[in-house]
Structure 1
Amino acid sequence: MDSDDLNALILRVSLKDRASFAVLYQKTSPKLFAICIRILGDAGEAEDALQEIFVRIWQRAETFSAETRSPTGWLATIARNHAIDRLRQRKPVARDIEEAHDLADDADSPEESAHLSGEGRRIDRCMDRLKPDHAAAVREAYVAGLSYDELAERYSVPLNTMRTWLRRSLMKLKECLEA
């Protein structure tokens, strides 16, 4: 689904059009679910988060501006921020970290399964076009949830340089994905 179609759907959702909301859910929920899985690491929690995300989309659709944001980016940001909020609300696990490591399952996780989908491969191809440091910074910012300050410190660059890296990298990704 292209940006114009998503823009139109979000506009109709802002007018509380339930049919458009259903189409928006159908077209975008797999991608938003993959974001939730990647951040939360639990399918059940990701499903709950996805439902809450679509409630937010329904409530906030009128705040979307096609002139300032891409619809995919806007939706992904809502999903990412909500999943990170849920992650931060979790109570710390009381188990010893070594015990948890020994119990880890070597099978593909839901995150890896979602990543193997066609959309994931397409995004990976576009990410491979970025400089390695820039691609890693994008992943750490938008998947792992690191702040600009944390990234600037990790890569030993000034804060504004990190912001520029991320902004330019996202613009390149957008161009690649729209091609």
Structure 2
Amino acid sequence: MTPEGISELISRVALRDRAAFDILYASTSAKLFGVCLRVLGNRTEAEDALQDIYVKIWNKADRFAVADTSPISWLVAIARNHCIDLLRSRKPAAVELNAAAAISEPSPDPEQLAVAGGEARRIYDCLGQLDVDRAAAVRGAYLNGDSYEALASRYKVPLNTMRTWLRRSLIKLKECLEG
């Protein structure tokens, strides 16, 4: 069918001519179905969309301006826009859920917890081999974040002595953990 013929049919549909609508549907439905199928990617959705599109064409035929637009372009624009609106209105699909499954859990798994627990026991056993004050100073400096100055004041020793305690204690801990 020629563009002029389609324009004539659309004009008659605007006047609520059902016979013209039937002819318009028969002449253009294959092309509009192809547009729907290409945009939606699903045959069943494309068939449903095509029905909605022809309802829109029936209701909006009086808005078609013969001089301004190619009739088939006008019909394709209605079909394409309707399908895009359908895509936008969809709820997020399971694809996002599948992508979320790939994100790892930040907390340690049971194996990592067991290894960490074993390492912690080894460290505390080695700390137990140090002098009580020196072990407490190591815990204060490296677990609690206490400053060397605060520790020196707490144990009433000079700052350089505290540094020596910590350095020697770390060397002993390293030897204990490696052995």
Q: Deviations over 1:10-40 (max 9, x none)?
A: 0100000000000000010000000000000
AA of the residue aligned to 1:31: K
CA distance in 1, matches of 2:44, 2:94: 21
In structure 1, stretches of 5+ residues that fail to align are: 100-179
Please state how far the C-alpha of 1:57 moved relative to its aligned partner: 0.2
Q: Normalization by structure 1: what TM-score?
A: 0.53
Whole-Å separation in 2 of the counterparts to 1:87 and 1:9: 30
Aligned to 2:164: none
Q: Which residue of 1 aligns with 2:86?
A: 86
Counterpart-to-counterpart distance in 2, 1:51 and 1:38: 16
Pair 1:31-2:34 in alignment: no
Q: What is the deviation of 1:44?
A: 0.5
Shift of 1:93: 1.2
Alignment partners' CA distance in 2, 1:47 and 1:89? 17
1:66 aligns with 2:63: no
Q: Counterpart in 2 of 1:18?
A: 18
Q: Which amino acid aligns with 2:94?
A: A
CA root-mean-square deviation? 1.6
Within a 5 Å distance, the mapping from 1:4-153 to structure 2 comes to 4-95=4-95, 96=98
Whole-Å Cα distance in 2 between the matches of residues 63 and 23 of structure 1? Answer: 19
Shift of 1:92: 1.2
**How far apart, CA to CA, are the structure 1 residues paired with 2:34 and 2:58?**
20
Q: Counterpart of 1:32 in 2: which secondary structure?
A: helix
Identity %: 52
Aligned-pair distance for 1:91? 1.2
Partner Cα distance (1:90, 1:29) in 2: 24
Q: Relative contact order, CA 8 A, sep 6+: which one is greater?
A: 1
Task: From the CA coordinates, give the structure whose radius of gyration is larger.
Answer: 2
Q: How many residues align?
A: 99
Runs of at least 5 residues in structure 2 that lack an aligned partner in the other structure: 102-179
Instruction: Output one character per residue of 1:107-143: Cα deviation in whole Å (capped at 9) or x when no partner.
Output: xxxxxxxxxxxxxxxxxxxxxxxxxxxxxxxxxxxxx
Offset of 1:94 from its aligned partner? 1.9
